Structure 1
C-alpha cells in the first residue's frame, strides 16, 4: 500500500499539470477567437499578395469559412502557450533530475522554444513568398488559380511543422553528444551523409518542389553546424565530474 501511494500522488500531480497546460491553451484561444477571421487573413497574406487579379481563395465546404479560421486559431493558441506547457512538464520532472541534468534541461527548453518560433517565422516571412510566388508564376496559361482555404491551411501547417522541427537540430545534436550516443568528431566525419540526409528530409517534409526542399535543407545544415559548435561547450563527463567533486572532497 505504501508503494502505491507515491504512484497515485504522482499520477494526481501529472493530471493537475496536464489540466493546467490544457487550460492555458484554452485561455489563449478564448482571448484570440474573436479575431479568428483576421488571423486567417494574416496567414493567407503571403498567397494573396502573389495571386493574379483573376485568382482568389475559395471554400468548397459549406462550413469551411467558419471552421478553417477556428482551427487555425486553436493551433496558434497552442503555439503561444507552448512556454507554459513546457514549464508544466519541467515542474513535473525536475524533482527527479540530477543537478547537472537540470543545468542542461533549462537552457534546452528555452532554446528549443525559441528555435521552434524562429522556424515558423522563417517559413512565413522567407519561404512562403518565394514558394507561392513560384507556384503562381508557373500556372499554365488560361488556368484560374483558386485555392481552397482548408487546403491552404493544411499546406501552411505542414510547412510550419517541418521548419519548426528542423530548427530543433542544434538541440538534438547537443542532446546526442551529451548522452554519449555520438561525438562532435563522429558527426563531423559523417558530414557528407548528413548533407544528403538533409535534402532527403527536405524532400519528405515539404511539398514536391525543389525550392521549398532547398530552403529547408540549407537552414538544417547551418543549424547542424551551430549544434556542433554548441556541443563542444557541454559534456556529460565534465558534468558528472563536477557533480561528484564535492563528494570526493568530503571524503
Structure 2
C-alpha cells in the first residue's frame, strides 16, 4: 500500500513539474509577444480602414494583453504536447514513443492552419455581413475591446478544432480510440460540430455552411486516419 502511495506521489510530483515548465514557457512567450504587440496590433487591423475606439485607458491594455495571450498560447502548444509526451512516455513502448513524438510539430502546424482559416477566410466574411446588415440603419463604432473579443471568439475555436485529426491519430495509436467507436458516435459528433458552428457564426446560411462543411470534413478525415492507423497498429501488434 505504501509503495502504491509513493508511486502516486511521484507521478503527481512529476505532473506538477511539467505543468510548471509549461507555465514558464507560456510566460516567456507572453512577454516576448508583449515586446512586439504594437506591431502585431497594427498588422491585425491593417485592412480595417478605420481606427478602433477605446472607452477607457484600461481597454488598450486589455487588447494588448489578449493579443499577447493568443500568440503565447499558439507558441506554447508544442511545449504542452512535449511535456504531455514526456509524462506518458514511460507507459509506452520504444516504437510508440518514436511515433507519438512525431505528432508534436503537427499540433502546432494544424493550430496555425486553423487560426489562419478563421482569420483570413471566415472573419472577413462574417464581419462584412454584420457591417452590411447595419448599413443605413445604425452608426457602427468599432471599439478595440469589442472588435478583438469578436475576432478571438470566432477564430480561436478553429485553431483547436483543426487539431482533431492529429489528436484522433494519437489516441488511436495509443489504443484509446478506434474507427468503429468514431463511426458509432458520428451522429452525436455531427450534432456537436453543427451546434458549435452555429454558435460562432452569424445567423445566415452561407456563414454556417462555411464553418460546418470544413468541420464535418475534418471529422471524416479523422475517422479515415483512425482507420489507417488502427490497421497498422493491428499488424504491428501481430508481428511482435
SS of 2:36's equivalent? helix
Matched-pair contact (CA < 8 Å) for 2:164–2:218: yes
The alignment partner of 2:138 has SS state of coil
Aligned residues: 237
Question: In the superposition, relative to structure 1, how do residues 147 and 171 fare at CA in structure 2: closer, same or farther (>3 Å)?
Answer: same
TM-score, structure 1 normalization: 0.78
Q: How far 1:24 sits from its partner (Å)?
A: 0.9
Higher mean C-alpha displacement, 129-138 vs 205-214: 205-214
2:109 match:
114
Asked whether the 8 Å contact 1:56–1:145 carries over to 2, the reply is no
Q: Secondary structure at the match of 2:134?
A: coil
Structure 2: runs of 5+ lacking an equivalent: none
- Deviation of 1:164 after TM superposition, in Å, equals 1.8
Rounded Cα–Cα distance in structure 2 between residues aligned with 1:25 and 1:104: 26
Match of residue 88 from structure 2: 93
> Does the Cα contact within 8 Å between 2:110 and 2:162 map onto a contact in 1?
yes
Does structure 2 conserve the Cα–Cα contact (< 8 Å) formed by 1:56 and 1:146? no
Instruction: Give me the whole-angstrom Cα distance separating, in 1, the residues matched to 2:172 and 2:10.
Output: 32
Stretch deviating more after TM superposition (34-43 or 146-155): 34-43
2:179–2:226 Cα contact (<8 Å) kept: no
Number of the residue aligned with 1:164: 159
Q: 1:111 to 1:5 in 2, by over 3 A?
A: same
Rg larger in structure = 1
Residue 150 (structure 1) aligns with: 145
Q: 1:114 to 1:138 in 2, by over 3 A?
A: same
CA distance in 2, matches of 1:6, 1:209: 55
Cα distance in 2 for residues equivalent to 1:191 and 1:20: 37
- The yes-or-no answer on 1:28 pairing with 2:29 is yes
From the superposition, tell whether residues 7 and 193 of structure 1 become closer, same or farther in structure 2 (CA, over 3 Å): closer
* CA deviation after TM superposition for structure 1 residue 194, in Å: 6.5
CA distance in structure 2 between the partners assigned to 1:92 and 1:99 by the alignment = 14
Retained in 2: the 8 A contact 1:100–1:239?
no
- The residue that corresponds to 1:137 in the other structure is 132
Cα distance between partner residues in 2 of 1:242 and 1:27: 41
How far 1:197 sits from its partner (Å)?
5.7
Aligned to 1:38: 39
State TM-score, norm by structure 2: 0.81
- Is 1:72 the equivalent of 2:73? no
Separation in structure 1 between the aligned mates of residue 234 and residue 179 of structure 2, nearest angstrom: 17
1:123 is displaced (CA, Å) by 0.9
Does the 8 A contact of 1:202 with 1:213 survive in 2? yes
Deviation at 1:22, TM superposition (A): 0.9
What does residue 233 of structure 2 align with? 239
Deviation at 1:125, TM superposition (A): 1.2
Using a 3 Å threshold, how does the CA distance of structure 1 residues 126 and 17 change in structure 2: closer, same or farther? same
RMSD after superposition: 3.1
CA-CA distance at 1:16 after TM superposition: 1.7
Offset of 1:240 from its aligned partner?
Answer: 5.1
Please name the residue that 1:201 is paired with.
Answer: 196
